[in-house]
């Protein structure tokens, strides 16, 4: 199965759209900045090209890997060693086809991936960094929303 590069790009860009809303001062931006001890002045000192450039690279990396978590057919192709002409894979596809290739199914798996992968990583780091529950809720909440949307885009886009 060939990766859908346009879907990966759109999924990666969706993280920026969510971020611009989520971290807006009128939403969670001011609270998040307080929780990490950042001021407007210190925020302006950041290298925005580096920050947004690397953020995009990381979003593409995440979006590139997510189909393995949200699309069952990718898993079936992986079990066939990537050989989409493998008789077992072809039988699977004849039996199940595009079943579960929906935006809703991808959203569910994206949300579950965030809850069971991103949340524990963020929360563990926050415990050792002695960050607040608000920080964990804001940061993990962002990733739950982003990975839910990414999963929906990647699974539903055909």
Average pLDDT, the chain: 96
The fraction of the chain above a pLDDT of 90, given in percent, is 94
Read off the DSSP letter of residue 44: H
Specify the pLDDT at position 3: 84
pLDDT digits (tens, 9 = 90+) for 51-90: 999 999 999 999 999 999 999 999 999 999 999 999 999 9
Hey, what are 121's tokens?
Answer: 């990583």
pLDDT digits (tens, 9 = 90+) for 98-113: 889 999 999 999 999 9
- Rounded to 5 degrees, φ, ψ at 85 are -100, 0
Query: CA 96, CA 90: separation in Å to the nearest integer?
Result: 10
Asked if the model's pLDDT at residue 2 lies above 90, the reply is: no
Query: CA 30, CA 138: separation in Å to the nearest integer?
Result: 11
Hey, what are 8's tokens?
Answer: 């990966």
* Separation in Å, CA 17 to CA 36, 45, 59, 118: 22, 23, 12, 19
| Predicted structure pTM score | 0.93
User: Across residues 39-47, what is the average pLDDT?
Assistant: 94
Asked if the model's pLDDT at residue 132 lies above 90, the reply is: yes
Asked if the model's pLDDT at residue 1 lies above 80, the reply is: no
- What does the domain layout of the chain look like in residue ranges? 5-156
């Amino acid at each position: 199965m060939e990766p859908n590069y346009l879907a990966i790009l759109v999924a990666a860009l969706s993280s920026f759209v969510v971020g611009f809303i989520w971290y807006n001062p009128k939403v969670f931006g001011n609270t998040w900045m307080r929780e990490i001890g950042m001021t407007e002045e210190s925020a302006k000192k950041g290298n925005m090209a580096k920050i947004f450039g690397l953020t995009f690279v990381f979003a593409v990396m995440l979006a590139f890997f997510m189909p393995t978590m949200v699309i069952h057919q990718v898993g079936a192709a992986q079990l066939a060693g990537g050989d989409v002409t493998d008789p077992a894979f072809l039988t699977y596809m004849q039996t199940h086809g595009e079943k579960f290739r929906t935006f809703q199914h991808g959203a569910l798996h994206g949300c579950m991936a965030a809850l069971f992968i991103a949340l524990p990583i963020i929360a563990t780091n926050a415990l050792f960094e002695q960050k607040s529950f608000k920080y964990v809720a804001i940061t993990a909440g962002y990733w739950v929303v982003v990975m839910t949307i990414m999963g929906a885009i990647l699974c539903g886009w055909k």
